[in-house]
Amino acid sequence: MRHVLERLRQRVQLRPEQRLPIARAAAVLDTTPRMLRYRESLGLLVPARSPGGHREYGERELLAAAYADELERRYHVSPSDLAFALRVLAEAEVAADVRRLGQLTRRIPPSPPVAALDFDAQKARRLLRMPGPVRPVGAGPSEPHAPNGR
């Protein structure tokens, strides 16, 4: 990421407090204002607003846009794919659902608690298939006996 920032700083000569309007930011990034608005709609960019309500892009926003573009190219993903990846990282419920899908498709190994539950479930199935009476653990001997010799 550091090299992206350095390349961007060399291209733009942007001071940290300086802000660019959307058309200038798009030109610096070699993209279009429409693409910047699209990235914003996905949550990949959060530009500041001028008092008149116009988008303004500072160094951080330009870096985010440039880095998102680099990741999309490197991993052959779309902006919406990248936005979903960020959602997975930010939202625990979404992360858990995606992890479970990965486990079901065997693209990622089950987590240790899931593996332990699977082991217990398999053990229970084996016990249910065994012939003979099933006694709960700690139920005592199978033959009833009279207490105190009665």
What's the total number of domains in the chain? Answer: 2
CATH number at residue 71: 1.10.1660.10
Whether residues 68 and 23 share a domain: the answer is yes
Calculate ∠ Cα 68-74-75, nearest 5°.
Answer: 90
Going from the C-alpha of 132 to that of each of 25, 124, 127, 129, 145, the distances in angstroms are: 76, 15, 10, 9, 20
Whether residues 70 and 115 share a domain: the answer is no
Percent of the chain with pLDDT over 90: 53
In this structure, is residue 141 part of a structural domain?
Answer: no
Whether residues 17 and 67 share a domain: the answer is yes
> Percentage helix, strand, coil, to 5, in the chain?
60, 5, 35
Whether residues 69 and 98 share a domain: the answer is no
pLDDT at 12 over 90: no
pLDDT for the residue 142: 56
The better pLDDT of the pair 39, 113 is held by 39
Whether residues 9 and 48 share a domain: the answer is yes
Whether residues 10 and 72 share a domain: the answer is yes
pLDDT for the residue 1: 67
Domain that holds residue 26: 2-77
